[in-house]
Structure 1
């Protein structure tokens, strides 16, 4: 728990504290934030926080990739931020699409566990019927099926809560609105009207509200859009009523008036339109896949991981749920999402077989297992995207398997848990026994093709490591320099723990020492190859001829200066000698702007050595004096 708290604290501090957060929530692997000020977010610094796998902006939403422990980290974030899942997005300056994906993600993500658990249970029930362990007429089956079907049937209640939280309105008034839509008397009349339209029987008498307004009879069981739009309207109605309602009466009369205004709008206008719109979208997607066939599945399968990277895959949730509600199954999102997850797993396990890096092998094993059960971010960010070619292999394997899934018209009959191996029970149906068989074939096809493609394409990491190992013995290192790093500056020594940057102060990057410069010249602290020199010129990474990796980080948060004040011209791949003048920095000018010029000299591969310690812990130091000693 302490590690989660440390990760959460550092992330919140890095993005500007709770004061800079409009809204915070999480999905399966990521912390998601709407920030008031999106400028100057130290993404590179955040990526180095323990427990963080990556960080990025997706549109105007800031995402911090955590992995499987995201829920634990978010608990700590929520304690720091407070009411973080109730951010008001109405005043956001995000673009339309960014805001739309943000809203969809925040509304549907919280209900995923309930959908997954009951969907998985529904699959096991179907399996029990197929194997003759029970019958659909037994009381045990009926009771457990009620549990398995409850979340989908009463979906408006769940969506009412998550929508209310997103739009900062009363959850309980929203639930009252959902209860009115799902009230048994109204639902029975709506179902009778629907049955009459199908069979040609006698339709029930028309309903009217207040004796004047005709009330369409529409069943809202399992519906998605009507309750979401109704809660949004409720928010504005409540706020409007509060403006003129006397404070002494608002507790009792504001909820009553708001419901009396919103309810007719919801039942007469929003509900029917939302229902028909949802059916239209569902029919449109089904038509697209019917016309496009396997090609449509191939395209979505090959691009689905790109949607995951940007967080846009949640935009497909309404389509999926609408299909379940209307047809009793879903044959687009769940099958293709499942096979693309297995594709990432297959590529990750191919990396296990080919890599010679023990650390990469361990990451690939754990993330490959996670991907097979539906958590792909660790595999993508830790393995396939990092090595590039395995990611391309997974796109190809997932695309082919997606086309196969569409060709076989695979159907998920429930949420089925996280898309992947745990989705298998969702594809079991007592009247469509081959459906699950072909789904397993699709999963195997995706995994195997991605595995083979990765083995064939290979990846550069292995070659680069071999070259590095071959070159090392050819370098003759001066014995005087072998275990020593020399000062790149004239200045005053400072221990890392006193540096005003927690990443360096806690030695998260590695051990070393800091210097407060007194002169502008910067010299090479070691002989070796320049491996890192960003456009901002604030950091220099050198791979020493003796194998030591040294980072000279000039100033704190100086990346934001964009190179201003830095007169350094280095070329990545070039070789420098210890004591060589690398350039100058206008430290006086930086100080005048309020910039902290403390410069860190860090051994970034500290774990390769028994000990890395300062040659001296205080006082003045001059260039080419011994600064750090390595054992």
Structure 2
């Protein structure tokens, strides 16, 4: 597995370098880029980077799916990009894309806090329901304060993340949130039911009445207010002398923004949130079966587009206004479990050892709530398992909607560890038990469907391997002996065969890039081993990537660390996009000059899409080979 630094550098190289980046950030499993020129992205090369699960354009974002290591890769990219990734994008984008991008940027930074606090609240509900802890104990008081803090003071967290997203001062935004949450307003709101005043007559004008309202756990009011703050603050600074801006610009912005937010934006935001929550409540009341089927079934497609971040404020508002979430939490839990089950089914059915390992590992990842490795690396790649996972989630989701499964808090990752959030704080264990059962059923149903409607694999890997090898021996390694399902790769140069395991570079010797063979060259040229298109040819000219007409993807890497020569001693005869025939001259190089620099010239021929084949079989691993001789067999 490539290091996070190597992955970061390769991603940057394939998307046009750091100078092509307007903005970069990450969510739980993927890197998200806003780019200046999307045409500079070579999406196929990005997908082929070791450790990358997939890549796609969504709206005006370019997304690279990494999985569990995404935060580490992001840190490396952030260090490499520096200030170049902070510029404003001038690209036009659709309204929906803009909204999704904005919500994603606001909620992604606070996901770890939501995940930890939400899980703690769920576990406390389980402990109380099971009688393991008294809700009146001092221990419960402290733990509940920890779990409840982010939800109660959510306006503070959203003020900071919103300010960072729209690039305005976070501390000014915190003043807005602090006023919303000021104890006097909160206490006055709580006393309204006791006959206390319902509003403040600001400025004594009679119409500027600021209503008392609770903004604890709210989402929409603070986000809109911080956006309003940015434009007012910037406008004030434009008309104010620079010598006065430090003190007077913030003060004037506060005097304009905060009263208007308390008077108009806050109440309207609360009303909008209640309206959204009510709409989804009505949908489930009208037909919980249909609503559960639709939302759970579509959840993988929603995740693929990044629109799942738009569900976060709806879930939070629902928890605040009606005390539970019967939409986002249940649908996510069931959908993620179905993806885990489908990947597990692939691991059971496949005869490809690499795919079996990936199926098991990605299934475990999806089981805890990180589904991209299973979705992109296994289920979508095999196609049918992805469809079966959606069908499974739809069926289980329909039952959950009909039953009325509810989550009573929220957490960032909806997997097995999120089941406690379905524990009813009132002490009823039924919802928790149903959630656990549906989680298991989602995994089992998807897994069973994949096993039943299995993708066709005509022969086990070991059997085909033995047959091909036996044919090689019986027919003195002649091409006519190769199994009809094998694709032939010819030798691109003359030299001595070297097993990959003996190459000094671990990237090749450990088959991280894929299976293949190495050759110590005895001539100074490389020809094409297949008919195909040139996909990769860096300025250093030390490596050539070819996509064959039959789908094979081959990397010819001349020497080890030859990239450091910056193209010296190399001459290319093709360019990216050229279509070549087997035997066409690709690159010439001076092997003696390269060796004089203490750089090895051993050349690796790697099948970079190895996982699409049952096996990659060298005809021989020792001895001499001539240009154009049969080198590898790729067995479907």
Q: TM-score, normalised by structure 1?
A: 0.80
The aligned counterpart of 2:400 is: 405
Q: 1:513 to 1:287 in 2, by over 3 A?
A: farther
Alpha-carbon distance change, 228 to 485 in structure 1, aligned in 2, over 3 angstroms: closer
| 1:441 Cα deviation after fit | 1.5
Measure the CA separation in 2 of the matches of 1:182 and 1:613: 75
Give the 3 Å change call, closer, same or farther, for CA 407–464 of structure 1 in structure 2: same
2:354 is matched with which residue?
359
Q: CA, structure 1 residues 480+468, in 2 after alignment: closer, same or farther (shift >3 Å)?
A: closer
Correspondence for 1:81:
81
How far apart in 1 are the matches of 2:219 and 2:305?
23
Q: Indicate yes or no: 2:213 matched with 1:210.
A: no
> CA 1:234–1:512 in structure 2 vs 1: closer, same or farther (change >3 Å)?
farther
Q: 1:603 aligns with which of 602, 606, 613?
A: 606
> What SS class does the counterpart of residue 411 from structure 1 fall into?
coil
Structure 1 Cα separation of the partners of residues 622 and 263 of structure 2: 74
SS at match of 1:105: helix
Summarize the alignment of residues 211-230 of structure 1 with structure 2, pairs less than 5 Å apart: 211-212=204-205, 213-230=208-225
1:231-280 CA-partner distances (Å, limit 9, x unpaired): 11111112111212212121222211222221122112211111111111
Residue 541, structure 1, aligned to residue 536, structure 2: no
Q: Offset at 1:68?
A: 0.6
Structure 1 gaps, min length 5:
491-502, 569-579, 588-599, 617-622
User: What's the counterpart of residue 331 of structure 1?
Assistant: 326
What's the counterpart of residue 447 of structure 1? 443
Instruction: Label 1:403 to 1:83 Cα distance change in 2 as closer, same or farther (>3 A).
Output: farther
> Is 2:528–2:585's contact at 8 Å kept on the other side of the alignment?
no
Shift, 1:134, TM fit: 2.5
Output the CA distance in 2 between the equivalents of 1:390 and 1:432: 36
Counterpart-to-counterpart distance in 1, 2:15 and 2:284? 42
* 1:498-539, Cα deviation, whole Å (9 max, x unpaired): xxxxx99x9946666899x999xx98747xxx7x76999x93
Following superposition, the deviation at residue 294 of structure 1 comes to: 0.6
1:352: Cα distance to partner?
Answer: 2.1
Matches within 5 A, 1:392-431: 392-429=387-424, 430-431=426-427
Instruction: Please give the alpha-carbon distance, in whole angstroms, between the structure 2 residues aligned to 1:626 and 1:450.
Output: 46
Corresponding residue SS for 1:458:
coil
Change in CA separation of 1:524 and 1:92 when aligned onto 2, cut-off 3 Å: closer
Matched length: 568
Change (3 A) 1:342 1:82: same
The 3 A distance-change label for structure 1 pair 130 and 101 is: same
Structure 2 residue ranges without an equivalent (≥5): 483-487, 495-506, 537-544, 558-570, 589-602, 611-615
In the alignment, what sits opposite 1:126?
A: 125
Indicate the residue corresponding to 1:596 in structure 2: none
Provide the rounded CA distance (Å) in 2 between the counterparts of 1:263 and 1:489.
Answer: 73
**Partner deviation per Cα, 1:288-340 (whole Å, 9 max, x = no partner):** 12212211111111111111122221121111111112122211101110011
| Matched-pair contact (CA < 8 Å) for 1:24–1:87 | no
SS in 2 for 1:82: helix
> Which position in structure 1 is the counterpart of 2:174?
175
Aligned counterpart in structure 2 of residue 284 of structure 1, from 279, 286, 289: 279
- Aligned partner of residue 249 in structure 1, secondary structure: helix
Superimposed CA distance per residue, residues 97-152 of structure 1 (whole angstroms, 9 cap, x where no aligned partner): 11111111111111111111111111111122123233222222222211111111
- For residue 379 of structure 2, what is the aligned residue in structure 1? 384
Give the SS at the match of 1:39: helix
Contact 1:612-1:629 within 8 A present in 2 as well: no
Matches within 5 A, 1:478-493: 479=477
Partner of 1:434: 430
Q: Does 1:310 align with 2:313?
A: no
User: TM-score with structure 2 length normalisation?
Assistant: 0.79
Task: Give the secondary-structure state (helix, strand or coil) at the position aligned to 2:185.
Answer: helix
Q: Aligned partners of 1:550 and 1:3: how far apart in 2?
A: 22
